[in-house]
Amino acid sequence: MVNSGLCILSDKVKHDSSQPNLVDAFGRKIDYIRLSITDRCDFRCVYCMGENMTFLPRDEVLSLEECARLVKVFVSFGVSKVRITGGEPLVRKNAIQLFEEIGQLQGLRELVITTNGSQLEHHAFALKQAGVRRINISLDSLDAARFRQITRVADLDKVLRGIAAAKQTGFENIKLNALLMRGINDDEALHLAAFAIENGFDISFIEEMPLGAVSHSRQSSYVSNEETLKLLRARYDLVSSNETTGGPARYWRIPNSKTKIGFISPNSHNFCEACNRVRISCKGELFLCLGQENKVDLRPILRAYPHDDKPLKQAIIRGLQTKPKGHDFDLKRAAPAVIRFMSHTGG
Ligand code: SAM
Ligand code: SF4
C-alpha cells in the first residue's frame, strides 16, 4: 500500500454482475468515465483558460480518496475505461498514488491520462508502472515562441523532454492532441503530423469548442478538421479507418506507418448518438454531456455517506437518465455554449 493514506481499493474491485450496467434514456451504454482530479494547471492555454484564473479552494476539490472511491463505484457498474485529466492532472500532489490505486482494479480494462506533458520527465515511468498503457499528450506547436503564445507561459523544450521520456518508457501507445487556431498555428498540421509519424505516435486534431469565455472570438479562430484533413491528404495517402473509441474521433491510417491520424470534430460532426462516456469534475460534479449543463453533484453524497455507497449509486443511476441526447455547439453564437472551461469539466 502506498503511503498517501489511500487504502480504499485494497480489496480487488470488479464489475458486480448483480448491478445493472449504466444505460441512459436513449439506450446508450456508459462504460467510460473521464475524471478531472484538479482544476489547476501550470499552463494557461488561450482556448482553455483566462489569463487570470481563480482556482477552487482545496476543500471544494475531491480528495484523492474520494476520487478513488468514485472510480471504484463506476467500475462496479461495469465502467471499463477511466481517463484521468484536469486541469493538469500531474500537478496534483500525489497524483501517481491515485493511478497506483486505480491501476489495481480488476474490472478496469484501460487506465489512461491526458496531460500537457510538462511533468512527464519525472512521472512517465511511474505512470507506466501504475498500469497506464496509453497516454495522450497535448501539443499544439513545435515552434517555441508560438507554443509560449498559445500556452501563455510554457516552455516547449520541457514538454519535448517529457514526450521523449514517455517514448523511452515504452507505452503501448502515445497520442498527441493538437488544437489548431486560425492565424496562430493553422499552418502546423503537416509539421505536427510529420513529428508524430517520425516518432511512431498517433495524432488527433481537435476542433476548438465554445467552452468558457475567452478573450478571442471562437468563430474567428476556428479551423475545421475538414480543412486540416484536406491539407494532410494532399501530402499523405490517408486510408479511412472505421476504428472508434465511441467518441467524436474519426481515424485515418497512413500506409507503411504506425501512425493513426484522428479528427475530433464536435462542431462540424455530431458524434452524440454513440456517446459512451460521462465526465466528473474535480468538485465531484457528474457532467452527463461536455456541451450541456446537466449535472449531478456527487460530492455532498460522498461526504454525507462516507461508508455507504448505496446513495451514491442511486444518484448516479438517476443522473444518467438525464443525459441529454446531444451537445449544442454553435460557434456563431456570441456566448459560449457552456460557461465552464474545459479545465473545469475535464478534457
Ligand atoms: N492539461 C491537460 C492537457 O492539456 O492535455 C489535460 C486537460 S485539457 C482540458 C484536455 C484537452 O482539452 C487538451 O488536449 C486541450 O487541447 C483540450 N481543450 C481545452 N480547451 C478546449 C476547447 N475549448 N476546445 C477544444 N479542446 C479543448
Ligand atoms: Fe492546462 Fe490543458 Fe487547459 Fe492547457 S488545455 S490550460 S494545459 S488544462
Please give the pLDDT value at position 8: 39
**Ligand 2 atom index nearest CA of 341:** 3
Enclosing domain of residue 97: 32-345
Could you tell me if the CB of 174 is within 6 A of ligand 1? no
Residue where the block lists cell 475531491: 62
- 138, 221, 222, best to mutate for ligand 1 pocket (most atoms within 8 Å of CB): 138
Mean residue pLDDT across the chain = 88
Structural domain contains residue 210: yes
Residue 1: which pLDDT band, with cuts at 50, 70 and 90? very low
* Spacing, Cα 115 to ligand 2 middle (Å): 8
pLDDT at 321 over 80: yes
Structural domain contains residue 115: yes
Residue 11: which pLDDT band, with cuts at 50, 70 and 90? very low
Mapped onto helix, strand or coil, the DSSP state of residue 250 is strand
Question: Residue range 240-269: average pLDDT?
Answer: 82
What's the order of all strands across the beta sheet hosting 260-264? 239-241, 249-253, 260-264, 202-206, 173-179, 134-138, 110-115, 81-85, 32-36, 277-280, 285-287, 295-297
Share of the chain above pLDDT 70, in %: 85
Structural domain contains residue 316: yes
Structural domain contains residue 227: yes
Please give the pLDDT value at position 324: 77
Q: Residue whose CA is closest, atom 8 of ligand 2?
A: 87
Structural domain contains residue 170: yes
What's the CATH number where 266 sits? Answer: 3.20.20.70
**Ligand 2 atom index nearest CA of 49:** 6
Structural domain contains residue 330: yes
Lowest mean pLDDT among 34-38, 274-278, 304-308, 342-346: 342-346
Residue 289: which pLDDT band, with cuts at 50, 70 and 90? confident
Lowest mean pLDDT among 104-113, 146-155, 177-186, 211-220: 211-220
pLDDT tens-place string over residues 84-109? 999 999 999 999 999 999 999 999 99
**Which ligand has the minimum distance to the alpha carbon of residue 181?**
1
Q: What's the pTM value of the predicted model, to 2 decimals?
A: 0.90
Residue 342: which pLDDT band, with cuts at 50, 70 and 90? low
Structural domain contains residue 107: yes
Could you tell me if the CB of 179 is within 6 A of ligand 1? yes
Please give the pLDDT value at position 343: 65
Number of independent structural domains in the chain: 1
Please give the pLDDT value at position 73: 97
* Spacing, Cα 236 to ligand 2 middle (Å): 30
Q: What is the DSSP string of 117-129?
A: STTHHHHHHHHHH
Q: Residue whose CA is closest, atom 4 of ligand 2?
A: 45
Q: Residue whose CA is closest, atom 10 of ligand 1?
A: 347
Structural domain contains residue 7: no
Could you tell me if the CB of 116 is within 6 A of ligand 1? yes
* Spacing, Cα 155 to ligand 2 middle (Å): 13
Please give the pLDDT value at position 276: 84
| Structural element, H or E, at residue 293 | none
Could you tell me if the CB of 114 is within 6 A of ligand 1? yes
Could you tell me if the CB of 41 is within 6 A of ligand 1? yes
